[in-house]
Chain A
């Protein structure tokens, strides 16, 4: 996808900047920006980006959808666009028309399992589900004797215990016992627990990469403006080298995330190639978030540690996104197991296949 030529991504970028600019959000000190911003986002149709036209969506190609989410990371978008896109994507996969209300996606943790009883009611718990005031529905992958199904559930029907994550965004434990779905349909071949985790991980990798891109930009700008010892701090070699290192982390996260998105577009979610690409992206972006956020803060000194500065909106989000849909150790274990299976002789052919 020739990214700078994508009209959809450019539009998304503009909408984000107009509605949810992080500096304005900080200055408001309340949530009054949220409702109008979300309404405007709904108007653009972006939350349904990955839904085909027959189900009422704009059918944006997968990779453009991922690029939209990277752009959302570049503004540290504090609205559940990624969740809504993922939820609608999963519903649409199973042929369910996504409702007007935004649905978050379940599972988002490696160990969650939701079952269905003979009476059609759900049972089980999910952890680490991204929720928000805008989220009124849940798209739930359900295990059953007839294979995986997708259920659409009303949030108010569930027992939800939400807690703020590092960035102050809600992550919930959700108890589905006894909940009766609004819609229920068989998942298509290949859509299973592992596939949902991979899709979610690829989304978080994009968001992290986007946040890091902006952290680099504001750090470089600050380094050229802040004067110490009579010159801009960006003229000190130690600062330059730190920023160069941040550049390397940004490059790695962008390359890994974009490559994983491209792999999903062409290879789906189940091939060995996609497993390599997606796990590598989630691991590498997670590492980059850690190293990158530390450097960005170091360059900013105390000002970057204040609640009024935008930096934390990027750094804390990037760090918190590491925890969703499997963290670095989870994916390292997945990838490492695959490598142990193919052995030293299979390792290079696996890498070279991409």
Chain B
């Protein structure tokens, strides 16, 4: 049976310096008005320029090979940059997906020419990526994807629709999953291929979809006879299913998987002051204990990745426990704050901030693989499937 190991990995001392550099950089950005750390929605108009400045500091693609503009720094260093930006509510949307996911996928599976062209531009913070997996009739069941890529001279023609594509409207490229053959009776996962898609290519259109939180962050992306050059396939044709699993450990275990509603906790601590009632003190203590534990789990997984392991189950656990926790956080903050609000009158700022986190809470256990899908992966790791 699987042993769940979470060694007490500590961030090495050089991470401290890096952390201070990131904090100083972010403080300067806040001072310059790029974003407001207490407003997670701020920074949408500045995100693009911000991305270039982050790139100039060498904080995008920092673990990647030097030949593609990276610095071959450790995952633990990347971890520090990611968590500092997340907690500060920095507008990372222009580079975050490329840094975490698309870049590493290209490094592993793209042609040399593509790597040389695209990766340095990601590192400079110039280009934005989105992920085109979900379709109207294919969500958790990725292998039901039906958007078609058909062979043409020197390339492929794409027709169909992706949906829920975050940030597609700002993206330069998508890594999309398209059907290149029918699935087979022996293997229903067969027949899908990953492609690099230029979002500015003729025939690609983005239709924004509003979210219940008031944001317009995801889209429907329609492909109408879009032509993709031959060398833009990413990995094995018809064999994308083989590529998916190893990357998930990176995607699932990061600090963004439990810090999305962190603002609700810091706003709570701020709102209740230095001498809150006993129930509030204990409630905050519990939340902090849980958050600390999640972070220690997540750092431990980062350490395993750094050591070259593939902790797929551990990563799924971090995301499962982490997202369920961050989903509950704003509700528990609301509960506790009420005890103080009664004494000092309603706290308008707190309530406003809280409302945002309460509204985004439902999505965290859906995006990037639902709770149910994660638990299936964990159960498989435990030997039950």
A351 partner, pick from B4, B272, B278, B291, beta carbons under 8 A: B291
CA distance A261 to B10 in the complex (A): 13
User: Contact at A254–B6, with CB atoms within 8 Å?
Assistant: yes
CA distance A256 to B367 in the complex (A): 27
A277 / chain B contacts, CB cutoff of 8 Å? 292
A284 / chain B contacts, CB cutoff of 8 Å? 289-290, 293
CB nearest to B383 among chain A residues: A220
A341 / chain B contacts, CB cutoff of 8 Å? 274
User: Contact at B375–A245, with CB atoms within 8 Å?
Assistant: yes
Q: Is B121 among interface residues, defined by CB-CB distance under 8 A?
A: no
Q: Is B210 among interface residues, defined by CB-CB distance under 8 A?
A: no
CA distance A248 to B270 in the complex (A): 30
User: Contact at A352–B19, with CB atoms within 8 Å?
Assistant: yes
Chain B, interface size category, equals 35 or more
User: Contact at A340–B379, with CB atoms within 8 Å?
Assistant: no
Contact A283/B4 with A251-B317, A333-B281, A347-B266 known, Cβ cut-off 8 Å: no
Q: Give the interface segment out of B96-104, B221-229, B242-250, B295-303.
A: B295-303
CA distance A199 to B383 in the complex (A): 36
CA distance A220 to B378 in the complex (A): 12
A336 partner, pick from B84, B284, B291, B385, beta carbons under 8 A: B284
**What distance in Å separates the Cβ of A115 from its nearest Cβ neighbour in chain B?**
27
B284 / chain A contacts, CB cutoff of 8 Å? 332, 335-336, 339-340
User: Contact at A332–B285, with CB atoms within 8 Å?
Assistant: yes
**Residues in B361-381 with C-beta less than 8 Å from chain A:** 372, 374-376, 378-379, 381
Q: Give the interface segment out of A137-145, A170-178, A233-241.
A: A233-241
User: Contact at A337–B281, with CB atoms within 8 Å?
Assistant: yes
CB nearest to B274 among chain A residues: A340
Q: Is B1 among interface residues, defined by CB-CB distance under 8 A?
A: yes
A223 / chain B contacts, CB cutoff of 8 Å? 384
User: Contact at A336–B282, with CB atoms within 8 Å?
Assistant: yes
CA distance A245 to B320 in the complex (A): 8
B267 partner, pick from A329, A335, A344, beta carbons under 8 A: A344
**What distance in Å separates the Cβ of B48 from its nearest Cβ neighbour in chain A?**
26
> What 1/0 flags go to A147-184 for Cβ under 8 Å of B?
00000000000000000000000000000000000000
> What 1/0 flags go to A223-249 for Cβ under 8 Å of B?
110000000001101011101110110
CA distance A331 to B376 in the complex (A): 34
A259 / chain B contacts, CB cutoff of 8 Å? 6, 8, 293, 296
**What distance in Å separates the Cβ of B113 from its nearest Cβ neighbour in chain A?**
40
Q: Is B339 among interface residues, defined by CB-CB distance under 8 A?
A: no
Which of B284, B291, B384: most chain A CB closer than 10 A?
B384
B318 / chain A contacts, CB cutoff of 8 Å? 251
CA distance A351 to B296 in the complex (A): 10
> What 1/0 flags go to A197-222 for Cβ under 8 Å of B?
00000000000000001001100110
Q: Is B28 among interface residues, defined by CB-CB distance under 8 A?
A: no
User: Contact at B6–A255, with CB atoms within 8 Å?
Assistant: yes
B375 / chain A contacts, CB cutoff of 8 Å? 240-241, 244-245
Contacts between the two chains (Cβ within 8 Å), count: 175
CA distance A343 to B381 in the complex (A): 40
**Residues in B246-281 with C-beta less than 8 Å from chain A:** 262, 265-267, 269-270, 272-276, 278, 280-281
CA distance A262 to B11 in the complex (A): 13
Which of B1, B7, B87, B285: most chain A CB closer than 10 A?
B285
**What distance in Å separates the Cβ of A44 from its nearest Cβ neighbour in chain B?**
24
User: Contact at B289–A340, with CB atoms within 8 Å?
Assistant: no
User: Contact at A217–B1, with CB atoms within 8 Å?
Assistant: yes
CA distance A217 to B314 in the complex (A): 16
**What distance in Å separates the Cβ of B79 from its nearest Cβ neighbour in chain A?**
10
User: Contact at B293–A255, with CB atoms within 8 Å?
Assistant: yes
Q: Is B56 among interface residues, defined by CB-CB distance under 8 A?
A: no
User: Contact at A220–B382, with CB atoms within 8 Å?
Assistant: yes
Contact A340/B272 with A328-B286, A329-B282, A352-B83 known, Cβ cut-off 8 Å: yes
User: Contact at A336–B6, with CB atoms within 8 Å?
Assistant: no
CA distance A234 to B262 in the complex (A): 35
Q: Is A334 among interface residues, defined by CB-CB distance under 8 A?
A: yes
Which of B291, B296, B297, B376: most chain A CB closer than 10 A?
B296
Which of A216, A250, A276, A280: most chain B CB closer than 10 A?
A280
User: Contact at A220–B289, with CB atoms within 8 Å?
Assistant: no
Residue ranges of A at the interface with B (Cβ–Cβ < 8 Å): 3, 213, 216-217, 220-221, 223-224, 234-235, 237, 239-241, 243-245, 247-248, 250-252, 254-256, 258-259, 261-263, 276-277, 279-281, 283-284, 287, 328-329, 331-337, 339-341, 343-344, 347-348, 351-352, 354
- In the complex, besides A329-B282, A333-B285, A348-B87, 16 extra interface pairs with C-beta distance below 8 angstroms are A221-B1, A239-B384, A247-B381, A254-B4, A256-B296, A333-B281, A335-B284, A335-B289, A337-B281, A340-B276, A343-B269, A351-B288, A352-B84, A352-B87, A354-B292, A354-B295
Residue ranges of B at the interface with A (Cβ–Cβ < 8 Å): 1, 4-8, 10, 19, 83-84, 87, 262, 265-267, 269-270, 272-276, 278, 280-286, 288-297, 300, 313-314, 317-318, 320-321, 372, 374-376, 378-379, 381-385
